[in-house]
Structures are given as C-alpha cells and as structure tokens.
Structure 1
C-alpha cells in the first residue's frame, strides 16, 4: 500500500511475510462464534485499519454511533507496515487483536486457511447480500466451505489507461481495439509515429502475468489446489508479454516508484491497471490532465472477458473479538449499504465491491482529468465481470517462482511453455502439490 491508497497490485503486497515471526498453525482453539443478525448491539469496539481506509471508517463510525445509541467505535490507524505483523502474531497467540481488522484480498486466503477458526463467519449477517457483492471478492474471502470470513470492501477492477494524445498522433481509435493482438499491432504503429513504447511493466514481480492470467479465468492453482501455470492460457499470456518485449514495445521498470516515474515521463502509451491508478495519476501527474482516457482491457479472444483484478481489501472480525455482534453490525453498516459505500469512493477514493453502490450518480459524472470521460462508469460496469480464481496457502511461494519464469521468458528469451513447465515443477517440489493435467 502506498500512502495515498488502500489498493495495490497483489505482487507488491508480499504475502510471503504473512506469517513472519510465527509458527504455522491456527493458534489456540475456541468454540466458534455464531452470529445472530437480529442481536441488539451496545458497548464498544476497536477497529484496525490504515491511511485513507482508517479515515473512511472513522467518518462512518460517527454516523454508526448516531444511529446506534449506547455504542462506541474506536478506529485505530495501525499503519500498513505494522498491520500484518500484529495480525499474524495475534491470530497465532489467540489474543491481542481488536474487534474488526482490515485485510487485503490477496492476503485473505492465507489467513483463512492458516487460521480456520481465527475469523468469525460473517455469512449470518451478510449472506443475504452475496449477490450484491463483487463475486471475485466474495469467493476469495470465503473459506472452502463457503463461509464468508472477510467481508468485501473495495475492488481493484482493471481497465486499460491510455495516452489519448499518442493514439491520436498515430491515427488510432482506442475504441477500435478489442483484442491483445490488435493492441500489439497498434503499439507498433504508435512507436513508429511517436517513439513511445506500448506499456511499462515491472517484469521482475510477475504482476502483469498474474493480472492477465486472471483475465483468462485462472489463478496459479485450480479448485483442487493443483498447479495450473502450464495451461494453454498461461502460455498465451507469457507469450504475449514476451512478444511485446521482442518487438520493443515493453519498457521494464523497477518497483512502484519506477512505474509512477514512467507514467509521469510519458514513456508508454497504455497502462493496464486497476481503478486506483486514477488516484495515482491525479496525485502524482496532475500536469498530464487531458491526455488520458480509459477503456476495457483487450480480450484474448473474440467475446472474451475484458477486465481483471489488482488489489482490494475487506473487513474481518477476529474470533477473539470482545464484542463480535457489534463488530459484525458495524461491518454490515459500512459495507452493505449503497450510499455509504459510494461516499467512501467520493471522499476517500475506495472503489466499492458492493454492486448497488456503483449505480450512484457519482460513477456517471465526467472527470476533467480524462477529458470529461465518465471513467468510473466503465469500472462500475466491469466489476461484476471479474473472473473468480482460487488462492491457496502456497500462493506466495508460487508467485516468487512464477516471477522468475516471467523474467526468464520476457527478458532472457526462454520458451514460455518450457519456462512455465519448469516453474510448475519447482512449485510442485516446494509445496507437494500436483500439476494439473
């Protein structure tokens, strides 16, 4: 997470640190808490979050207290750097955690699987609203039995940000591009006309590969927990990235700062990224106002999915919460309400996972930075189309191995299918999992 936003691509949120300083396991076992959605609530709860997320929760906490007499909600900004260390230690020890905690989506499966009794099942409170939430987020934040352990909050719906001036100089209409092959061809024309590459990417993280793999409806593992990266879809994604580099259309940058600097410098024509990139552009590159537009991701084939996910978060109630019913009521209050979710978008830039919120007028308003285009409307329309994928406790280790395969193919010219087969075998050896047939 950067100071400006709760959302960041999964690869930058090193899940490998998930259990640092802790032994593997589930902490002390206690009888599970069964929530009563009709319970009368009172008393006090403490909520952990950080940055703009904490700001949003603190603002809404005042409204909740006004609507629920005899309640107090204390929001603590624990800071991003400390949040997960505190959460992991607290879950392992079975003590020391507050009533509500913020957990990012890419980290959710690790906590859910490693601490199966550590988080309260929120289904009794939010289950009737399942169809109203981003299906990817609901799936990723539920356990194998379908119990919702982390309520969906904000989504990292992905679109294609593009430099409208570069496309105009090359005589290309961005709306005419429907597939990745067509975008690569456009990239060659744009480079010839303007000298700019097609896109900038931190190849070493493998983040672009996983984003595009999810667009294909796949993660690193399937529903059985088997390794899927040798699939034709995975090979197609890695081949695409390799092709762009071989054609001189890809600028390799290092880390978050490298990506932001590359955007400010105008190195490349497009950025496939989540809705939170809007906040990055507004904050770090205000001078580029009027030069950007947004469209859907190109599809891998005619009629294919044209979005993916990169980032997002949710709210969870630890099993050790002193006031779990009040905690669940607060989670329901802030997340399962269209007006309150929309307010967090307008005031704190948190893009809703709650689909009814996306019908609000704000998401259809023209945005001056993007030449008057109502860019949030595009993301609102695409959120429900994000393909759900499976996460496992081995996603962190697998991500590191896959990143090496991406470097081998994209930067060093290795055959994509061979690089992914080698990576799959390494993952299998490291995790004991099977490679999907």
Structure 2
C-alpha cells in the first residue's frame, strides 16, 4: 500500500492448466440491493497496515450496525494475489471483500468480467468525490466500478533544503523539468551531489513521467503508445539527467532508501507515502526536507502524477455481497473513515472530501513545520487519468529494457521505444497507435 511491489502478470497466474480466460467457475452477475439493511457476517482479505486499518474500521462498523460481524484476515502480500487468481478461476474460495492494487485492477477486471461485483449501485452517486484517475482505472469498459478507490499515490517533489540553500537555488523558481535540470547542474557544481537517485533497471520513473503527461502504455482503445511523443520526451529527460551526471542509478527499493539516508541526491520525485518512508527510515534527516509540486513538462502543465495505491472489491462469489458493499462504502466513501486511515495508518485518501480534514493542513515537524499533506491533498484531483490493460505488466517489462538501453547505454530514445512498441505488438497482438 505504502511501498511499491513487483507486479506479476495477472494472465500468467490466472490461466492455470490451460483453463479458458474468465474461469470455468465464473458466477453469474450479482446485483446489489443498495437499500438492504446491514446484517450478518463478512470476511475481508488484506495485508500489512491496510489490514490494520480495515480491522479498526470493522470494529466501528459493527458498533454502528449491531448484528454485523467483520472478520479481517491479513493474508500477506505474497499470498494475496495467488489466492485471488486461483479463487476467481475456480469460482470459489474467496471472501466477501478483497484488496487489489490499482496497477493490477484492469487485469482482474478484464480477465474475470463477471468475477467482481459492480459497486456502482452503492458508490455511483459519489463518483465526483473520488480521485478521477483511480475511478477510471478501477472501472470496466462499460463504466461499471469493479474496485472501489481506496488510497492514492499522489506524486510530489521532495527536496533537500540544505543542498538548495548551499547552491543558492530557490525552489519556487522551479516550474518545469528544464528548470530542475538547470538547478541540478548548479547544485552539483556547488555541493557535489547528484540531482536524483533512481532504479533505472525497473524503469527509472518513466511511467510516472508518462502519466504526468496524460499518457499510459496504452490508449483508451487499447493501442500501444509507448513510442508516443510524450514517451520520447519522458525518456529523453531521463537520458539527459544521466548524461549530465545528475542521476545516481541504484538497485531496488532498498537502494533508494539507502540513497536517501546517505544524502546522495537533492530531490526525490515520489508519492505521498515517501513521507512515511522518511519518517521511519531516516528520522535523523528531520528538518532537511521540504516538498513542492512535481515540475511540469511545459509551463501550465500537470504538476503531479500517480505512483501506487489500491482499492477494495467484492467478489461475485461473496456469501454476503450486500453487507460487503455496505462495509466498503463505510470505509472508503466516508470522509471521517478515510481521514482516520491517514491519521492512524498513513493511507492517503482517494476520497476527496476526506482531504478537507484539518489534519491535512497541520504543520509537520519533520518538514520544518510545512503542512506537506496539504500539497498532496490539493494535487490529488489533478492526477491525469490513463488507461491500463491486461498487458500492462508485460509491456512494463519491455519498456524497462528500453529505459536501460537509452539511459545507461546511450541508445536513441525514439528508436528504443519504437522497438519496444513492436515487441509489445508481437507479444500481445495489439496495434500500435498512429
């Protein structure tokens, strides 16, 4: 939830033993009764801090609705998707509510079109109150909401005030990526520090930069867009940073955390959950960091993106789907519930009314008294929506290789992305967008 995880292609898990797509045990469509009085018992699957949050809210739900029981099971991240895929394929074995990350949502929605309940009858009136990117990514092609938005990975730019001060760079002067590159050269000359640290082998933030421009790996028609002008611009930026000596290539999650602790780089473009990482892993740097908007590619352009996040779904095989949907609405479409998960568990809301809670304007000591959550709250509604497909995981692997070729090996960004598009087309039988 607060930390990225490696994505396993859904199709590779779901298509077991040559079974047909969609599962042999796919249940019939389940219609929710939005007027049903909450009653009975449900089981909820999640993991780590997300399970902690749901367990706490389950107690509150039970108190408000006597005669109900919410059993939250921490199934562990490593097991969650194996169990979910097998259960959807078999048409049995799943609980009433499951947690699904946004990046994986389209895979499950498309592979198992009748496997998840349409939550629109319960949450449809609240659509305008949710992060629009999350709502779109977790709905099917007909607009049915299959996975309710939970937490958003709104992106900002974390920066070291001491490095900026030593180099004489005013953070307020940075409006575009070109501005940041120029600032990075000045910071490096004055402090000897690189501008940022990224794991190039896993894509180096390429998809975050692409989404900032309103582009994904595929367009709304499912055509391949990894070689679009926006993609070339994003990859050219990463290549330029490396050529100018402004990028430190690190390995994996641990490498990025260690790099931050060691103070290697001046900035970190990352999601709101990076706050929790700094608080937990680098308490000694309190007072050194501030946060500002992500630089735009062009003046007036979007100054945020998304990295991570998840939602809650009700499997069609749920024993008590009406109670399950009622609990999902209680947890995710309620400002107090969503705000409480930010305060207690650090889960940043996708439900926009929750962002009006006074907690988001409170000064944060670690950031020198800056109300950092307010910036992310203001930017969440501005996250550009993009299209995910069942082939996103496979395409991501191919694109990551293209990023390595351009950034570390000096290849031409347009050429490697054209090659990547051709590889994806061969692997998926999808068309390349003109």
For 1:94 and 1:120, the matched residues in 2 are separated by 13
1:374 match: 371
- Aligned residue runs from structure 1 range 50-199, under 5 A: 50-199=47-196
For 2:12 and 2:231, the matched residues in 1 are separated by 29
Deviation at 1:199, TM superposition (A): 0.3
For 1:54 and 1:30, the matched residues in 2 are separated by 27
1:345 match: 342
Whether 2:315 is the aligned partner of 1:314: answer no
Q: TM-score, normalised by structure 1?
A: 0.97
Q: Which range is displaced more, 200-209 or 324-333?
A: 200-209
Relative to structure 1, is the Cα distance of residues 49 and 106 closer, same or farther in structure 2, using a 3 angstrom cutoff? Answer: same
2:6 match: 13
Deviations 1:155-205 (A, max 9, x none): 000000000110000001111100000000000000000000000000011
Whether 2:22 is the aligned partner of 1:26: answer yes
For 1:344 and 1:58, the matched residues in 2 are separated by 11
For 2:267 and 2:8, the matched residues in 1 are separated by 28
Deviation at 1:64, TM superposition (A): 0.4
Q: TM-score, normalised by structure 2?
A: 0.98
Do the aligned partners of 1:22 and 1:89 also contact (CA within 8 Å) in 2? no
Deviations 1:228-272 (A, max 9, x none): 111111100000000000000000000000000000000000000
**Partner SS, residue 113 of structure 2:** coil
Detail structure 1 runs of 4+ shifted over 4 Å in the superposition: none
Deviations 1:22-48 (A, max 9, x none): 435112232211111111221100000
Deviation at 1:7, TM superposition (A): 2.7
For 2:14 and 2:351, the matched residues in 1 are separated by 35
Relative to structure 1, is the Cα distance of residues 207 and 313 closer, same or farther in structure 2, using a 3 angstrom cutoff? Answer: farther
1:398 match: 395
For 2:57 and 2:232, the matched residues in 1 are separated by 46
For 1:79 and 1:118, the matched residues in 2 are separated by 22
Q: Which range is displaced more, 139-148 or 14-23?
A: 14-23
Do the aligned partners of 1:18 and 1:84 also contact (CA within 8 Å) in 2? no
Whether 2:257 is the aligned partner of 1:264: answer no
For 2:27 and 2:87, the matched residues in 1 are separated by 14
Unpaired segments ≥5 residues, structure 1? 1-5
1:3 match: none
